[in-house]
Structure 1
Amino acid sequence: MSTDLPRNVVPQQPHLMTEIPLDAAVYQPPPPEYVESKVASDTEHDFLRENERWPTPEEERTWVRVADNIPTAAFLIIVTEFCERFTYYGASGIFNNYISNGYKVPGSSPGAIDGGKQMATGLINFFQFFCYICPIFGAIVADQWLGKYKTILLFACVYLVGNLVLTLTSIPASIRAGGALPGLIIAMIIIGLGTGGIKPNVSPMVAEQYTRTRPFVRRLKSGKEVLVDRDATIQSMFNWFYWSINLGSLSAIATSELEHNVDFWPAFLLPTLMFVVCILVFWLGRNKYIRNPPTGSILLQAASCLTTGVRQSRIAKRSGQVLRDDAGAKLNWMEYAKPSNMVDVPASPVAWDDHFVDELRRTLKACKVFIFYPVYWLCFGQITNTLISQAGEMNTGSVPNDIMQNIDPLFLIIFIPIFDKVFYPGLRRCGLDIGPILRIFIGFVLAAIAMAYAAIVQHLVYSTGPYYDHPGSQHNDISAAIQIPAYAFIAWSEIFASITGLEYAYTKAPQSMKSIVMSIFLFMNCGGAILAFCFNPISADPHLVMNFSIAAGLMGFFAFLFYACFYKYDSQEQRGKS
């Protein structure tokens, strides 16, 4: 297909198919004051359609900003993510019972491996750790060789193989022959590899489908004019992306019912079949996606750049050639990695330029925010292990104990649209634009409250007969409905902390480093899994009150430490917009 465009339209990225109807797009250059304040590349994708115009400086400064419509290509990727998460949560949602309990034991919850609560917690934490360490590898593959689209498609096929292994080793003959445990471990490893190729690339690819970079005014059918903003659009896209994740996670309801009423093999077969749909949906959209070609992995280049900056700054100090900016302040040590600032010029040219150093510095600044997330993921991970165990010690009526975890996505499905369409726009209309740092802080505090509440519930469980703090596979006379507020607080924390983390990872990373930054954000889940391993000795009765209490205390402490370290970032961002 020819990439030539009519002269009145600014070309999009070369070799890419776009969502812009060419007969409706009318390119008008941005106002001079905008061009002077931005780098030239920021305007290359800007255009105007019918009933659109550029805002005046006063309008851009004072009008309430709204989100644009989500492109069709982004919607297809969101549907793909829904199918993938349907598979992931549908399978992993029943791992706790699958590992903990024996197969077809009368009067007990469904099971297969009979490994107990600690084995279940350990294997689930290993699975989480492996799923979120592999994204670094997936990001390298995408950046160095295949690009995001081909990487997602390739690793989706790997993922499907893992699901097939899990399904085939869960048939009754395999369980009775002892094949369930080795089959589960093999499947966990293969699915982890597949997840590693998909997760760091799918969310950046969603956001890449929206190419407009600067605000513009659109006249609605009612005649009202609104200021459409890229940041608000990206925030909305990630809200709906996360909404699709949680809609998909409701598959655990179906798989829990299947394991409870039929057997494990149909419970694993359902998500396996859905993943076939996932691959087909993603492949069918191949001609609609905006695809950025691979630019080469930058990890080694970044490492070399950082070591060069350290070495050059030390040479500058020893030789008395310390560089200063126009205000007389000493330059940051990374500035010495710039070829234009090197004190001791190397014999051979370096593989980067000044712009690369600036982008790397922005990347490191964004990644500093993520170092507090492991404690958050420790709290979030309680949904799939200790909270399920807690429900198993309570009266759940006729439903399986592991179905309780679906309260979290149910709350998210309800509240994400409310936040996206009502709460955040309402705050903006009142002149209150909550910055990402404040949103993350609120999310951390809500997670701490969730863990504190879970500790109170566990204390009530241990205080109730007939089994008190040693219920084993039995349950005490207390309703599991009392758990609902804990799941509600976790869900609200995700809206503020998890969704904002995805948004922050994408918007703050330079274009060439988005997959790497996203993989680093996902890697923080590994830190949460490592912390969870440390909690393993207190993840069983009668220590669960201590488990939840320590998690709540850690989260509360790190929430306020996080805000003390980064609260200035929000004000800096607001000054950058004004």
Structure 2
Amino acid sequence: MSLTKLETHSNSDLSLSSQLDNKDKIEVHVVSTENQIDVHSLDDEDYEEEDEDYVAPTEEELKTLRHVSGYIPLRCWLIAIVELAERFSYYGLSAPFQNYMANGPNDTPKGLLQLNSSGATAISYFFQFWCYVTPIFGGYMADTHWGKYNTICTGTGIYVSGIFILFMTSIESITTQNAARGGYIAAIILIGIATGMIKSNISVLIAEQVPKRKIRVITTSKGERVIEDPKLTVQNIFMFFYLMINIGSLSVIATTELEAHKGFWAAYLLPFCFFWIAVVVLIVGKKQYVRKPVGDKVISKCFTITWIAFKNKLDFDSAKPSCHPEANYPWTDKFVEEVRRAIRACKVFLFYPIYWCVYGQMLNNFVTQAGTMELHGLPNDFLQAIDSIAIIVFIPICEKFLYPFIRKFTPFRSITKIFWGFMFGSAAMIWAAVLQSFIYKAGPCFDKPLACAAQYAHTPNQVHIAWQVPAYVLIAFSEIFASITGLEYAYSNAPESMKSFIMSIFLLTTAFGSALGIAISPTSVDPKFTWAFTGLAVSCFIAGCLFWICFRKYNNTEDSMDEIDFIDEKVTDMANKASSFISPVLSTKSV
């Protein structure tokens, strides 16, 4: 037990007593000669008792004992089914989009809207852009009005409506080209809004099902003493979350086959039916989910703190109640530190648009490239499934073998992983550029695939489709290092009451990447594809190197930033209140 007592005197006696015991209980009293004012008294129920088995690790144990993840409860898996269903629908729908938009009913492969390759690529990027701008709206509504669960439920209803419109307007027997175009635009707008409402909240809701704990020593059932590391728990949550995304994205196998053999209506009907699983899971599990309360104008407070810091040469201490008790700021010192940390994280996201522009090639230009190769009976958009399969295979390998092996020699921290994500993205574009040059060197149409003569309109250049597989695998590795780690970083560095909004800012970088893709879409025509892929490879490599130069120092402060989560907000709030009582008295005495 420790006891701290501070006394000051003016015309009336004033004393402040602050007492902390081993259960972090605090009492603050202000006493005068006329009366006694009880500022705050915290009872036992105000605190969650620390685990009786909690053992803090020593420096030596941190270096020598094996680090493991904490327990992930069943309700996380239940929420993950919602994400699986949403991604099943999103990727199942978007895989046929390039053919649906670019080609006509008599082309090979078949389509409907006849917008040509360049137009289809631009709209494809617009769809990605829209889907990742709307999370700002979803994050704002969740953190200030509806809460995460209600926002996800609202997005689910909008999603179902959008898929239904797309399905109905793609039935060739009852639609026209103009009706199909109108239905397509309406559908992607609705689906984009719904995606934003779900994406900004679903990963955060999953992570919030696991209680926060400090790093500690535990003993396994086999008698081994290990370090239970909350950072590894968050890492595994987001790897498992990303695993669900990619299991869902295997829907491209089914929808591309349905597109090729039954029609686009069948390809869109399957995601519509599957999405109802998300509706059922949300309703059935409603009472099991941990749902944290909505913050009180928390986003407004965040911007106010940032503005105060900006006016004071980026000094966030100037926004702390403890530094300026006379200002009566309606937030705590801890919240200011959380905002400072979140701003730092947002700077890390600045390079991501270039990465997402590279990633977007998989959804459009890789599909177009495949259409000029020998498919051997496969749909040209089928190989998108290779990316998902690679992620499903390599995520467990990274978790069980690669990451523990690297940690034996050096901490494999977030900034390092993101850097390697950029490098793998660059490697994927190098492979695509080299492959494209071989396609242009192959007959019968060389650098004018399918367009050199009428008799070759349905004859691709003589390059096997399997040569695209390494590009998809390299993209998969880049996602494991850059995309998953970005999700972790956004969640871990966000204030407790602003996690959806900060997550939406990270997702917004995808929208900017799509905007870059729209800008370079005029290069998505033959014979310019080689230079398009080469330019993206160089850009991603340079962006990765600049990212490392700018942010590698953040690896050294990662642990200290994580400690902010365990600052006792109640204690600091009491200190701020006490300071506001004492300051006037001290000022009077000094005069």
Distance in 1 (CA, whole Å) between partners of 2:448 and 2:403 is 46
1:439 to 417, 440, 444: 417
Distance in 2 (CA, whole Å) between partners of 1:449 and 1:228 is 35
Aligned equivalent of 1:377:
356
Distance in 1 (CA, whole Å) between partners of 2:411 and 2:23 is 25
Aligned partner of residue 490 in structure 2, secondary structure? helix
Summarize the Cα distance change of 1:41–1:265 in structure 2 as closer, same or farther, 3 Å threshold.
farther
Distance in 2 (CA, whole Å) between partners of 1:42 and 1:93 is 52
Distance in 2 (CA, whole Å) between partners of 1:276 and 1:180 is 24
Displacement, 1:432?
Answer: 2.6
Aligned equivalent of 2:396:
417
Aligned equivalent of 1:114:
114
Indicate if the aligned counterparts of 2:144 and 2:299 stay in contact, CA closer than 8 A. no
Aligned equivalent of 1:23:
none
Indicate if the aligned counterparts of 1:45 and 1:212 stay in contact, CA closer than 8 A. no
Displacement, 1:443?
Answer: 0.5
Aligned equivalent of 2:51:
47
Aligned partner of residue 447 in structure 2, secondary structure? coil
Aligned equivalent of 2:442:
464
Letter in 1 for 2:317: E
Summarize the Cα distance change of 1:98–1:76 in structure 2 as closer, same or farther, 3 Å threshold.
same
Is residue 365 of structure 1 aligned with residue 350 of structure 2? no
Letter in 1 for 2:463: I
Aligned partner of residue 381 in structure 2, secondary structure? helix
**TM-score normalized by the length of structure 1:** 0.85
Summarize the Cα distance change of 1:216–1:351 in structure 2 as closer, same or farther, 3 Å threshold.
closer
Distance in 2 (CA, whole Å) between partners of 1:459 and 1:181 is 34
Q: Deviations over 1:128-184 (max 9, x none)?
A: 011000001001111111111111111111111101111111111344353111111
Aligned equivalent of 2:308:
308
Displacement, 1:295?
Answer: 0.8
Distance in 2 (CA, whole Å) between partners of 1:568 and 1:269 is 50
Summarize the Cα distance change of 1:41–1:271 in structure 2 as closer, same or farther, 3 Å threshold.
farther
Aligned equivalent of 2:382:
403
Indicate if the aligned counterparts of 1:45 and 1:211 stay in contact, CA closer than 8 A. no
Letter in 2 for 1:434: F
**TM-score normalized by the length of structure 2:** 0.83
Q: Deviations over 1:43-73 (max 9, x none)?
A: 947535xxx6524425345422101232111
Aligned equivalent of 1:541:
526
Summarize the Cα distance change of 1:369–1:465 in structure 2 as closer, same or farther, 3 Å threshold.
same
Aligned equivalent of 1:501:
486
Indicate if the aligned counterparts of 2:341 and 2:561 stay in contact, CA closer than 8 A. no
Aligned partner of residue 525 in structure 2, secondary structure? coil
Displacement, 1:76?
Answer: 0.7
Q: Deviations over 1:68-91 (max 9, x none)?
A: 232111111112111110000000
Summarize the Cα distance change of 1:218–1:97 in structure 2 as closer, same or farther, 3 Å threshold.
same
Q: Deviations over 1:174-195 (max 9, x none)?
A: 4435311111110000000101
Indicate if the aligned counterparts of 1:42 and 1:213 stay in contact, CA closer than 8 A. no
Indicate if the aligned counterparts of 1:46 and 1:214 stay in contact, CA closer than 8 A. no
Distance in 2 (CA, whole Å) between partners of 1:359 and 1:56 is 25
Aligned partner of residue 290 in structure 2, secondary structure? coil
Moved more, 124-133 or 287-296: 287-296
2:91 to 89, 92, 105: 89
Summarize the Cα distance change of 1:216–1:342 in structure 2 as closer, same or farther, 3 Å threshold.
closer
Aligned equivalent of 1:333:
315
Indicate if the aligned counterparts of 2:492 and 2:562 stay in contact, CA closer than 8 A. no
Distance in 2 (CA, whole Å) between partners of 1:494 and 1:35 is 45
Q: Deviations over 1:493-534 (max 9, x none)?
A: 111000000011111112122111100000000110110011
Summarize the Cα distance change of 1:171–1:514 in structure 2 as closer, same or farther, 3 Å threshold.
same
Q: Displaced runs of 4+ in structure 1, greater than 6 A?
A: 31-36, 40-43, 575-578
Query: Structure 2: which 5+ residue stretches go unaligned?
Result: 1-20, 27-43, 451-456, 564-591
Distance in 1 (CA, whole Å) between partners of 2:442 and 2:423 is 29
Summarize the Cα distance change of 1:206–1:41 in structure 2 as closer, same or farther, 3 Å threshold.
farther
Aligned equivalent of 1:65:
67
Q: Deviations over 1:87-122 (max 9, x none)?
A: 00000111001111112x16x112111111112111
Q: Deviations over 1:379-408 (max 9, x none)?
A: 000000001000001011101000011111
Aligned partner of residue 227 in structure 2, secondary structure? strand
Indicate if the aligned counterparts of 2:57 and 2:217 stay in contact, CA closer than 8 A. no
Query: Structure 1: which 5+ residue stretches go unaligned?
Result: 1-30, 315-331
Aligned equivalent of 2:79:
77
Aligned partner of residue 395 in structure 2, secondary structure? helix
Distance in 2 (CA, whole Å) between partners of 1:247 and 1:45 is 39
Aligned partner of residue 226 in structure 1, secondary structure? strand
Distance in 2 (CA, whole Å) between partners of 1:53 and 1:341 is 34
Is residue 512 of structure 1 aligned with residue 512 of structure 2? no
Distance in 2 (CA, whole Å) between partners of 1:296 and 1:270 is 41
Summarize the Cα distance change of 1:275–1:42 in structure 2 as closer, same or farther, 3 Å threshold.
farther
Indicate if the aligned counterparts of 2:162 and 2:191 stay in contact, CA closer than 8 A. yes
Aligned equivalent of 2:368:
389
Indicate if the aligned counterparts of 2:351 and 2:547 stay in contact, CA closer than 8 A. yes
Distance in 2 (CA, whole Å) between partners of 1:396 and 1:75 is 37
Displacement, 1:41?
Answer: 13
Indicate if the aligned counterparts of 1:60 and 1:215 stay in contact, CA closer than 8 A. no
Displacement, 1:335?
Answer: 2.5
Indicate if the aligned counterparts of 1:46 and 1:212 stay in contact, CA closer than 8 A. no
Displacement, 1:468?
Answer: 1.2
Summarize the Cα distance change of 1:120–1:46 in structure 2 as closer, same or farther, 3 Å threshold.
farther
Distance in 1 (CA, whole Å) between partners of 2:96 and 2:46 is 47
Letter in 1 for 2:237: M
Aligned equivalent of 1:157:
157
Indicate if the aligned counterparts of 1:363 and 1:513 stay in contact, CA closer than 8 A. no
Aligned equivalent of 1:318:
none
Aligned partner of residue 476 in structure 1, secondary structure? coil
Distance in 1 (CA, whole Å) between partners of 2:267 and 2:443 is 33
Summarize the Cα distance change of 1:246–1:116 in structure 2 as closer, same or farther, 3 Å threshold.
same
Displacement, 1:554?
Answer: 0.6
Displacement, 1:287?
Answer: 1.5
Summarize the Cα distance change of 1:43–1:248 in structure 2 as closer, same or farther, 3 Å threshold.
farther
Q: Deviations over 1:8-66 (max 9, x none)?
A: xxxxxxxxxxxxxxxxxxxxxxx969999xxx999947535xxx652442534542210
**Which has the larger Rg?**
2
Displacement, 1:425?
Answer: 2.2
Number of positions where the alignment pairs a residue of Structure 1 with one of Structure 2: 518
Indicate if the aligned counterparts of 2:420 and 2:478 stay in contact, CA closer than 8 A. yes
Indicate if the aligned counterparts of 2:112 and 2:177 stay in contact, CA closer than 8 A. no
Summarize the Cα distance change of 1:177–1:45 in structure 2 as closer, same or farther, 3 Å threshold.
farther
Displacement, 1:288?
Answer: 1.3
Aligned equivalent of 1:484:
469
Aligned partner of residue 156 in structure 1, secondary structure? helix
Identity of aligned residues (%): 39
Distance in 1 (CA, whole Å) between partners of 2:215 and 2:323 is 36
Is residue 455 of structure 1 aligned with residue 433 of structure 2? yes
Distance in 2 (CA, whole Å) between partners of 1:130 and 1:498 is 19
Aligned equivalent of 2:168:
168
Summarize the Cα distance change of 1:260–1:42 in structure 2 as closer, same or farther, 3 Å threshold.
farther
Summarize the Cα distance change of 1:337–1:158 in structure 2 as closer, same or farther, 3 Å threshold.
same
Aligned equivalent of 1:124:
124
Distance in 2 (CA, whole Å) between partners of 1:202 and 1:471 is 43
Aligned equivalent of 2:572:
none
Distance in 2 (CA, whole Å) between partners of 1:289 and 1:566 is 36
Aligned equivalent of 1:3:
none
Summarize the Cα distance change of 1:99–1:63 in structure 2 as closer, same or farther, 3 Å threshold.
same
Distance in 2 (CA, whole Å) between partners of 1:513 and 1:62 is 36
